[in-house]
Structure 1
Amino acid sequence: MLLWINGPFGGGKTQTAHEIQRRLPGSVICDPEHPGFGLRRMLPPELRGDFQDLTSWRQGVVEVLDLALTKHDGVVIAPMTVTDLDYFAETVGRLGELGHDVRHFTLLAERETVLRRLRERGFGHLLRYVAGKNAGLRRESWAVQQLDHCLERLREPEFAEHLWTDHSTVPKTADRIAVLAGLRLRPNNESALRTRLRQAGVGIRHIRFD
């Protein structure tokens, strides 16, 4: 089974993917962002744009996920924002055509909720104290620029199943996905403090500098 977790940048995809992987034995995260940034770094700066526009990225994601789904004995989790319907068909849709059990979920939240999460992710809490409460948003300027477009497009029925997360924690969102996909996660026995520390670590590891 493939769990493709969609949503706006800053919407909680990566945190939710890691929560599921932590509590679902045998599952793995195969992040389509990794080859995207690799392809982007291959280009001179003036030619760098949205790596999803590269046919090589879309075809490569399908090839790698097809291999993982065919050879790995466990659930594969792919956290990735895709808002273009054609690109969605070429990746998520194509994997379904290849015969894989693809479960697609879009995490949605109100604009202010996503902005708050963008302020806080990575070193956001520290930046708020050092450089003001909107310092995190300045660091996440590209995600902020894409936010309204993402929220508008991802509400479309083609991107169901939609999960609203404004009033949901990451563990609860993971639980909802598991129930809808017919999976059973291990109980979440972490303390609130340990959860916050672990999620902070995930956020820091996924900071991008280019």
Structure 2
Amino acid sequence: MWRDFNVSMINYISENYNGHIIVPMTITNEQYYNEIIQPISVRHQIKRFILYASKKTLLKRLAPRFESKRSWGAQQIDRCIKAFDNHITETKIYTDDLNIYQVVEKVASIAGLILDDDKRGRFRRRIDRVIMQCKHIW
């Protein structure tokens, strides 16, 4: 049901929105991945990326969300890395040494997208980032 909903939702958005759509998902089960990707790719051009990071980096990124090494997210890291190393091997973007802005630029570049200039100042970008981090916590 979850996979069917996602396929339907992505198809609907794609047919009713004239622009690029980014759908962030972490799917590590190869069967589920194929059940979502295959029907979408029949109707739409899609580009798939894996934002890949080491376990050490992922644990470091979970910390500001108050997720410990024993949290559910932290416990999924080994399983996800194994799946992305062995079963779901799309274009990997290694993010260990990249900040969020560099990741965005890299995805856009590989996807052939031209991003609008970010007209916010450094302070405003930082405030917006803190707000987004708070939303992840609550």
TM-score (norm 1): 0.60
Partners of 1:104 and 1:160 within 8 A in 2: yes
Distance 1:159 1:192, change over 3 A: farther
The aligned residue for residue 35 of structure 2 is: 90
Distance 1:204 1:92, change over 3 A: farther
Q: What runs of 5+ residues in structure 1 fail to find an aligned partner?
A: 1-55, 125-135
Match of 1:100 among 22, 25, 44: 44
Displacement of 1:115 in angstroms is 0.4
The aligned residue for residue 186 of structure 1 is: 116
Q: Using CA pairs below 8 Å that are at least 6 residues apart, which structure has the higher relative contact order?
A: 1
Displacement of 1:193 in angstroms is 3.8
Partners of 1:171 and 1:188 within 8 A in 2: no
The aligned residue for residue 199 of structure 1 is: 129
TM-score (norm 2): 0.89
Between Structure 1 and Structure 2, which shows a larger proportion of strand residues? 1
Q: Percent identity?
A: 27
1:121-200 aligned within 5 A: 121=65, 124=66, 136-137=67-68, 141-156=71-86, 158-200=88-130
For the residue of structure 1 that corresponds to 2:23, the secondary structure is strand
For the residue of structure 2 that corresponds to 1:149, the secondary structure is helix
Are 2:120 and 1:120 equivalent residues in the alignment?
Answer: no
For the residue of structure 2 that corresponds to 1:188, the secondary structure is coil
1:16-35 aligned within 5 A: none
Cα separation, 1, equivalents of 2:121 and 2:60: 23
Displacement of 1:189 in angstroms is 4.4
Cα RMSD between the aligned structures? 1.9
Partners of 2:51 and 2:95 within 8 A in 1: yes
Distance 1:117 1:192, change over 3 A: farther
Cα separation, 1, equivalents of 2:134 and 2:35: 31
For the residue of structure 2 that corresponds to 1:162, the secondary structure is strand
Cα separation, 1, equivalents of 2:88 and 2:63: 29
